[in-house]
Structure 1
Amino acid sequence: MLLAQAGMSTPDPTTGGAPDGDTPPESTLDGALSQMLNADFDGVAEYLGKTVLPNLVPACIGLAVIFCGYFAAKYLSRVISRPIRQRIDETFGRFVGTAIFYSVMLSLIAAVASKLGAPLGGMAAILAAAGFAIGLAFQGTLSNFAAGVLMIVFRPFKVGDVVNIAGVSGKVNEIDLFTTTLDTPDNRRLIIPNSSISGSTIENISFHAHRRVEVIVGVNYDADTDATRQALHAAADAFLQDAIHGEGRGTAVILSNLGDSAVEWKVRMWVKSADYWRMTESLTVEIKRQLDRAGIGIPYPQLDVHLNRVDAAELQGPARPRMRPARRENTSELWRA
């Protein structure tokens, strides 16, 4: 049939399969192929003219709008996030800038797709179903993301703070949407999932500008109380230039407890948070020096054991009467009876 439509003659069964007329077979085949190619090109040209070309110009305009919108979104996010990073917090500023950038880009892409006639309702349904499936597959990751957003918004700590979270202590190096990075005092890098942080107690050690140093020391029971207090005050007064003075601040010496082996004293001093560890060591050394100078000893933990001599007879107690075993009857004779 295809050869007949192309103008080729069919073989004549009565003449042994020879075609009708005097046309050579080669020219007939070439004509059929040329007609088929012309028909295909005509269909492609018709498709391009009716479908592609009318939508090509709007598509190019939409791509140009998205391209320009990308740079506009970058500029807008940078302008808005810069004062937040400078005045409030670096991490929160970066989060706001990223949220603004993606919001502008998604809105721009949706607007361009709507102008081009894309079915936004169907696309929204597909995206919702895909988001539900992805949410089930990545529950742990999404919980880290949600915890990261809450931490960035409410800011229980910021970059540079010294914190105790999830059972570890360190200096906050970076706060991301999924993890938080800490540097420990011995220069180890710890990466903690945000979900572990949000579900545990957060201790922000460096939140306040001032901290209280407290050194507990025990002295002998035979040491004079006034002399001990005077020696401990002398140790605290050696660092008056480093202490923070004011209401509820300054230094204090308190007799806190009468322990099993020693009389326990507490020496307290308010200092800057940055000087906490240095002042703790310095005050401890000065307390030991002042007690040695005053001849007041620090006792070792000890336990007195008193032994009472007891006779062996008292340990054994009164003699018990010996019980004779019960007599067993011969049951074989009973069975014979």
Structure 2
Amino acid sequence: MSKQKALVEVKQLKQYFPIKGGILGRTVNHVKAVDDISFSIYEGETLSIVGESGCGKSTTGRAILRLDEPSGGEIFYDQKNILSFNKMDMRKLRKDMQVIFQDPFASLNPRQTVGQILGEALAIQNVVPAEKRHDRITELLAHVGLRPDHIDRYPHEFSGGQRQRIGIARALAVEPKLIICDEAVSALDVSIQAQVLNLLKELQRQYKLTYLFISHDLGVVRHISDRVMVMYLGKVVEIADKKSLFENPQHPYTKALLSAIPVPNRKEKRERVMLSGDVPSPINPPQGCRFHTRCPFAVDRCKTEVPQLTGVSNTHQVACHLV
């Protein structure tokens, strides 16, 4: 994987959200949602980000899209630093970078038909001439498993799975290279999840797409990923190819997450790793390794020194003093 071309390179990304206080509304502190992380997304791969709620998964995705302006660091798309782009440059780049949101109902305009929702994306980016847009919309609906007569229906007339298919069609409409899937299947029933995941994999093969897949469900991540990045409290603690991460996890936090995956076979025994305490506040995160307050193996060094990502193999990195 390391020999592939990096479509996106994130370097020392920070995303701090100000906390206002007092009569004058001055900034009194910051929520350190993402704090100095670096990683790459290679062309044609699916990189998944996993971790507990509040670890910075979705914030990272929004920062890459510049839906939120990062507080620091650099984001390179196709070797261009997009944080230096103006509004016009970003508008052109939006054609290459799309997103599928978690809630398929809230992300669709209830006053527009499916045809208007998809047609709007085609018109803004001028992907196809006006006279060919109806045919293109029908083609997109067919690609995601919907019928031509769905074009005149409104979002409330569809099931959750069908609405998410409309969201996928909207993302595909402008022929992007990168799609960020932000908990794209977490709101769906398990049977529908499988259908949507298989659809995403088929579309990736067909259109040579690159995915950043954000999820808390490790079962889903195992099905769709090429590589997996584990985040904890705004930091990357481990990043590896799927096989290495699931079969040979190195970080204590990763081991705890994997031990919580339900086992279909009741005869198969798995030792559950229970973590003590709650996730610390991102307003005032612990010094040193951020996981040391819950880690059963923490030593004095963990409390003072921030661990850096270290290579276990060519495709496996971990940020832990004990590895």
**Structure possessing the higher radius of gyration over alpha carbons:** 1
Q: Same fold (TM over 0.5)?
A: no
**TM-score, normalising length: structure 1:** 0.18
- Higher helix content, 1 or 2: 1
Q: Which is bigger in relative contact order (C-alpha 8 A, separation at least 6)?
A: 2
